[in-house]
A and B are shown apart, each in its own frame.
Chain A
Amino acid sequence: MATDENVIEFKTGAWKSSEMVASYASRMHENRGTNRLKNRVELALCRDNLRGTRIVDVGVGTGRGSLSLARDGFEVTGIDISQAMLDHCRREAGEIPIELLLGDLTALPVESESFDSLLSLNVVVHFPNWREVLRDWARVVRPGGRLVFDVHSFDHLAAVARARGCEPADLLTQEQREDPGAYMLRIGARDVAEAAESLGLCVRKLVPYAAVLGGGNANYWLQDSRLWGYLGDRALSWMAVDEQLFSFGSFVEEQMIARLSTGATGRFMVVLEKLNDPAQTRGVLAYQKAIGAAFAGGARLESLRAVVGPEAAAWPGALTGHLGHAPNRTLLAMMLSSPAALHLRPLVEDLLGAPAAAELYEGNRLQRVDDRVAAFLQTWRTTLSHPDRFTFRGVDAGRALEYDLMRDLLDIEHFKREPGV
């Protein structure tokens, strides 16, 4: 089992080798595969929620988060524990002005209240001592300033586990549970709110994202769907080159998912403000709760609109437009092939109409056909008075029949044709 100490030590030390930096840069910096959408969503969330022009980027890494801000005139100070990362960032920066400092994220090497906002991407997720981290971060931001960072959502894990009737930890792989290298901090909206209040901060926003980012951004609602795992990532990678697919992905993330709760997706962006305003924090939690309640009651567009507001009214038209592009339809069908998506069917019908919803859910029907025939092949021989009629010289010749029988039975069950012809 990973202890907090060895996780912190590993996560702090891991980024110091230049080899690790190069591999990280190739994964994160480029707009390859689904990184294009991830970069767009995360950078837009930062820009929209930062305040002022003096920005500190903690765990600046290769500069993925702040080089574009610096280019646009923000005064950016980047801090990292790894000189190799800072060297890489300096090379990437070229002419772009950016101050880079070596330092630890729990003891930032800067004056108190010297920044308008703090930004930190993909950093808190690595640290179990996140409350201690936040204390120092709150120190360096001026009153009224903002802290913007992303975390993995425990609420998501809990919601999916509840729906599946298992424990949240059951959803993780053994490696994720035990290997310090694979450790990921997972916290919920309530954890964030409590920590913020204790530091004299308020929660301005909690914005879920990463519904369709793939890669390391698991959306557990999609488990057992056709968009889960490496095959799903392969489909999502086409967002890098298919503009309409990219535009659809952006719409899903920014217009729909972003309005939902921290249970919706595996990551959320936290926007804190250095302001003692418990009512604001309570309001954010209340919104989370209302969204949760809308879904718990079998989500319909009407009930969601009551919580989300008028933006939700634009969803049907915009969605229908995006679905004119065939790969977008297939991508959505792949998402909806998750067992967890079955109860969303009324909402999908509200959004797109019954015929379009039926087409999107067609995969579930096809899957049931496959499952039915597969179950038949598993069990049909138990119908017989002597199930071992197929065993010849100790070898079960019956199992060799399954291949042809699968096709023959699909022919009568589904393709409506003479079997095997």
Chain B
Amino acid sequence: MGAIVSLLWLKNREVVRQYLARVPSMLYVIGPTEPYRQYAAFGRVESLHALLSPQLQTSIAEDAAARAAAVASDLSAAGWTGAAADLRSDRATVTRTVTARLEERLRESMLLIAALDSAHERDGIDVVALNEDVMPAGKTAALWGRARGVPSVTISHSAILGRLYTVHREFNADRAVVFGRRGGLPYAEMGVDPACLAASGNPAWDAYAALPSQRGTVRSELAARYGIGANEFLVVFATTWSARFTAFCDADAYASTLRAVLRAVRDLRARGVPIRLVVKDRPTEDGGAVVVAALCKEEGLETGVIYARGETERFVVAADTVVSVDSNISVEAMLAGVPAINLWTPMGWLNGPFFDAEDGVLEAAPEKLAAAIAMTLGDANLRGLLTATAARRLPEFAAAPGTAAVRAAELLVRSHANAAAQSRGYVWEELSRPRRIVDKGAQATYFLNPRNELLQMLAHEPRVVLDVGCGGGATGAELKRVYPKAVVHGVELSGEAAAYAVARLDRVLQENVETMDFAGAGFAPGSIDVVFFPDVLEHLYDPWNLLRRVKPFLAPDAQVLASIPNVRNLWLLGELFKGRWDYVEEGLLDVTHIRFFTRKSVEELFVQTGYRIARWGANYDPRVPTVTAPTDALLNVEIYGLTMKDVSMRDLEEFRTIQFLVDAAPA
């Protein structure tokens, strides 16, 4: 099982859930894991930064401080040169600005790099999902991915309708999910390969697929809560802000555009149009309520204004008209089937107009805003024309409403698969060209880790042990550590693994066990008292014959300890139900599996070849949920699109099993 790192904002977490449902993985997130708690059904969830030991954090912090101090000292000693000297501000101010938060910012980046490294070493990161590949964390993660060969996917958080200016005009991730074709244009213009762009809608807007049909309910709920009269029009204005990442930015935009709206509403009310105004502020606009209240007072609009920071979708759906300033919310209005007015500003055009004349969004300069609002409220023909036009143009802005999270998740899966195809070849290539252990990175665990669950099944002190498929010899080495007198013979087809094992076991036979001559290899009849088959029998053409051939060499008290994958696994049944039987590099559908077993056929495998099964054990599949119920309960189960009736706890136990553990003795 690999891992996914998500730096996605919470509004996009459904993308992560959809990814995990497709590729059960370890999930690393930034910040608290609490919002992802229910995703643990697919794999562990951990905070990325929790991987860093306090010592490492301290040493990185010290490193960052030393670097920042060195930079500050360089700057004060040497001053600015080259293009850096062209700023108009005096040098001391520039130096102070550059160094002010340098240590903290550097530390954050370095900690993230270290945490990503730790996660990668531990689980192997398949893909990094992020929301902004130009902001500090997203950019760090994308650059880290480039350096480590880990694919990253950025999911736009805006429709990207205007110009990408200054620091936004870069592409650091490997792929981008944009909302619609329009959102891809600036990237295409920058020369980004169109194959790296997917117009898949905005996962955070999937709710709009269902909301418009609930308009009446939503409207009455809001009306009840805010005391909105039945005759009142609901006009929603989404505030803008001054991001200050380009000089083409009106520092006063927040207040000046809000004033324009307040004046328009005041004028319309004076003309007898009953309007309830919702000022939808940005969630991060702390103190906005006070500012808005003050502006309302100044503009003589002290009543009938609702201030809101959340519930955007509900306000948009309930609205009669949505007004905004070059904002995504116009696209949300398009999704909701509500007329949208874009408040025209010179900066809006200079930064690239969001809408053309045929997008179904009305544009109005401040002095014409009242007239535009009045038209959208009072002119049914215009309303119809605007919403119909907008509906036609919508796919340009936001493709696939309702399925954006699924599409984004599928792109993440493809990115992962593509990276695998590029760096490791296709899964089926494993058959003709087994990979080196070191190339497997984190996936090499089953070569290098002891199978403790099999060791725990030992019933006597082992004397002569045959470990078939011994890999790097970890299990035998562990056995020898506990039972130093035991002699362990390993059999391993992979020369590379065998080379690892040689140093750890008494003898390693680099041979195919199916054709191995036990007597020729020096085993005396009745001499072997422990045989391990750790996930080996299913890889053999004729496991039955092997069990029969090895039996004469077994001691009377011999234990055959085997681990065998279970195809009656519920997750796998779900996959099969969905039409998937996808061979992978390892796991239930390891591409090198030849035979497939259920509990029943495992039993037959041993009994028919002359063994009896003394004990059963199991490893459980973390993807399949656990159920607590009395042992005699019969349950109805609904999962993976399957509905099953009267399922016994014994069946559920088998459904949950990923590998059977078998302790068999010669009969």
Contact between chains at A376 and B74 (CB < 8 Å): no
B456 in contact (CB, < 8 A): no
Q: List residues of B (456-494) whose CB comes within 8 Å of A's CBs.
A: none
Contact between chains at B117 and A370 (CB < 8 Å): no
B109 in contact (CB, < 8 A): yes
Contact between chains at A403 and B135 (CB < 8 Å): yes
A409 in contact (CB, < 8 A): yes
The contact of B88 among A396, A404, A413, by CB within 8 Å, is A413
Contact between chains at B87 and A366 (CB < 8 Å): no
B349 in contact (CB, < 8 A): yes
The contact of B143 among A226, A363, A395, A407, by CB within 8 Å, is A395
Q: List residues of B (97-118) whose CB comes within 8 Å of A's CBs.
A: 97-98, 100-102, 105-106, 109-110, 113-114, 117
Interface string of A210-233 (1 = CB under 8 A from B): 000000000000000010011101
- Interface of A (DSSP majority class): helix
A375-B86, A383-B81 known; A238 and B246 CB under 8 Å?
Answer: no
Chain B nearest Cβ from A336, distance in angstroms: 11
Contact between chains at A382 and B82 (CB < 8 Å): yes
CB-CB < 8 A to A404: which residues of B?
A: 101, 105, 136
CB-CB < 8 A to A415: which residues of B?
A: 244, 249, 251
Q: In the complex the two chains form, what is the Cα distance from A337 to B351 in whole Å?
A: 12
Contact between chains at A389 and B357 (CB < 8 Å): no
CB-CB < 8 A to B350: which residues of A?
A: 226, 330, 333-334, 337, 363
Q: List residues of B (53-86) whose CB comes within 8 Å of A's CBs.
A: 63, 67, 70-71, 74-75, 78-84, 86
The contact of B75 among A234, A235, A383, A393, by CB within 8 Å, is A383
Q: In the complex the two chains form, what is the Cα distance from A229 to B352 in whole Å?
A: 10
Q: In the complex the two chains form, what is the Cα distance from A384 to B70 in whole Å?
A: 9
A376-B84, A397-B109, A410-B245 known; A389 and B356 CB under 8 Å?
Answer: no
Q: In the complex the two chains form, what is the Cα distance from A396 to B136 in whole Å?
A: 12
Q: List residues of B (225-284) whose CB comes within 8 Å of A's CBs.
A: 243-249, 251
CB-CB < 8 A to A231: which residues of B?
A: 162-163, 352-353
CB-CB < 8 A to B74: which residues of A?
A: 383-386
In the complex formed, the residue of B with least CB distance to A410 is B244
Contact between chains at A383 and B80 (CB < 8 Å): yes
Contact between chains at A238 and B363 (CB < 8 Å): yes
Interface string of B353-365 (1 = CB under 8 A from A): 1011110000101
Residues of A in contact with B, size category: 35 or more
Q: In the complex the two chains form, what is the Cα distance from A380 to B99 in whole Å?
A: 12
B638 in contact (CB, < 8 A): no
Contact between chains at A397 and B113 (CB < 8 Å): yes
Interface centre among B63, B106, B352, B357 (most CB of A within 10 A): B357
Contact between chains at B143 and A396 (CB < 8 Å): yes
A370-B166, A392-B109, A412-B97 known; A376 and B86 CB under 8 Å?
Answer: yes
B134 in contact (CB, < 8 A): yes
Q: Tell me the count of chain B residues lying within 8 A, CB to CB, of chain A.
A: 67
The contact of B140 among A32, A241, A395, A405, by CB within 8 Å, is A395
CB-CB < 8 A to B352: which residues of A?
A: 226, 231, 234
A379 in contact (CB, < 8 A): yes
The contact of B356 among A233, A326, A377, by CB within 8 Å, is A233
Interface string of A316-359 (1 = CB under 8 A from B): 00000000001101110110010000000000000000000000
Contact between chains at A375 and B134 (CB < 8 Å): no
CB-CB < 8 A to B247: which residues of A?
A: 366-367, 369-370, 410, 413-414
In the complex formed, the residue of A with least CB distance to B366 is A326
Interface string of B171-199 (1 = CB under 8 A from A): 00000000000000100010000000000
B422 in contact (CB, < 8 A): no
B447 in contact (CB, < 8 A): no
Chain A nearest Cβ from B629, distance in angstroms: 50
In the complex formed, the residue of A with least CB distance to B353 is A234
Q: In the complex the two chains form, what is the Cα distance from A333 to B346 in whole Å?
A: 9
Contact between chains at A237 and B143 (CB < 8 Å): no
Chain B nearest Cβ from A245, distance in angstroms: 10
Contact between chains at B83 and A375 (CB < 8 Å): yes
B94 in contact (CB, < 8 A): yes
Q: In the complex the two chains form, what is the Cα distance from A254 to B466 in whole Å?
A: 95
The contact of A403 among B88, B136, B248, B355, by CB within 8 Å, is B136
Contact between chains at B83 and A376 (CB < 8 Å): yes
Contact between chains at B355 and A234 (CB < 8 Å): yes
The contact of A389 among B71, B80, B246, B249, by CB within 8 Å, is B71
Q: In the complex the two chains form, what is the Cα distance from A350 to B335 in whole Å?
A: 49
Contact between chains at A380 and B106 (CB < 8 Å): no
Interface string of B150-179 (1 = CB under 8 A from A): 000000000000110111000000000000
CB-CB < 8 A to B432: which residues of A?
A: none
A408 in contact (CB, < 8 A): yes
A401 in contact (CB, < 8 A): yes
A374-B166, A375-B86 known; A380 and B98 CB under 8 Å?
Answer: yes
B147 in contact (CB, < 8 A): yes
B611 in contact (CB, < 8 A): no
In the complex formed, the residue of A with least CB distance to B344 is A327
CB-CB < 8 A to A197: which residues of B?
A: none
Contact between chains at B140 and A393 (CB < 8 Å): no
The contact of B167 among A32, A240, A406, by CB within 8 Å, is A406
CB-CB < 8 A to B353: which residues of A?
A: 231, 234-235, 238
- Could you list 17 further interchain pairs (A-B, Cβ under 8 angstroms) beyond the known A401-B109, A415-B249? A229-B189, A333-B346, A377-B167, A379-B84, A383-B81, A392-B63, A397-B109, A399-B139, A400-B136, A400-B140, A402-B167, A403-B135, A403-B136, A406-B166, A409-B87, A409-B89, A410-B245
Task: Show 8 A/B contacts (Cβ-Cβ < 8 Å), sorted by A.
Answer: A370-B166, A379-B84, A383-B74, A392-B63, A400-B137, A403-B135, A409-B87, A410-B244
Q: Identify the A interface with B (CB < 8 A).
A: 32-33, 226, 229-231, 233-235, 237-242, 326-327, 329-331, 333-334, 337, 363, 366-367, 369-370, 372-380, 382-386, 389-390, 392-397, 399-415, 417, 419-420
Q: Identify the B interface with A (CB < 8 A).
A: 63, 67, 70-71, 74-75, 78-84, 86-89, 93-94, 97-98, 100-102, 105-106, 109-110, 113-114, 117, 134-137, 139-140, 143-144, 147, 162-163, 165-167, 185, 189, 243-249, 251, 344, 346, 349-350, 352-353, 355-358, 363, 365
Name the 6 nearest CB pairs between A and B, nearest first: A397-B109, A369-B247, A231-B352, A366-B247, A375-B83, A237-B356
